[in-house]
Amino acid sequence: MVSTLRAHFETERLAILAENPHMDAAEVTRRLVNRLLHRPITALKQGQPEKSLDEATRRLFGLDHQQE
């Protein structure tokens, strides 16, 4: 699963670079973060997430000590 996730992220990164090869690093980074987080954020916003999904998200993204 980890290799699949890494491959997906790399595919998205290459797609953004191909869309505009002259884009600066800040813009590439912003677009990549937005693209990679779009689906997880959408899933979390669809109703109340189950507690286990919320806990997993916090653990995986290191959100335990951050304020929402």
67 falls within a domain: no
Q: What is the pLDDT of residue 48?
A: 64
| Coil, strand or helix at 44 | helix
60 falls within a domain: no
Q: What is the pLDDT of residue 68?
A: 46
Instruction: Report the alpha-carbon distance of residue 33 to residue 12 in Å, rounded.
Output: 10
Q: What is the pTM of this model?
A: 0.67
Instruction: Report the alpha-carbon distance of residue 43 to residue 37 in Å, rounded.
Output: 10
Q: Structural domain of residue 21, as residue ranges? A: 2-49
Q: What is the pLDDT of residue 61?
A: 74
Whether the pLDDT of residue 65 is over 70: the answer is no
56 falls within a domain: no
Mean pLDDT computed over 40-65: 73
Report how many domains make up the chain. 1
39 falls within a domain: yes
26 falls within a domain: yes
62 falls within a domain: no
pLDDT, tens only, 15-26: 999 998 899 999
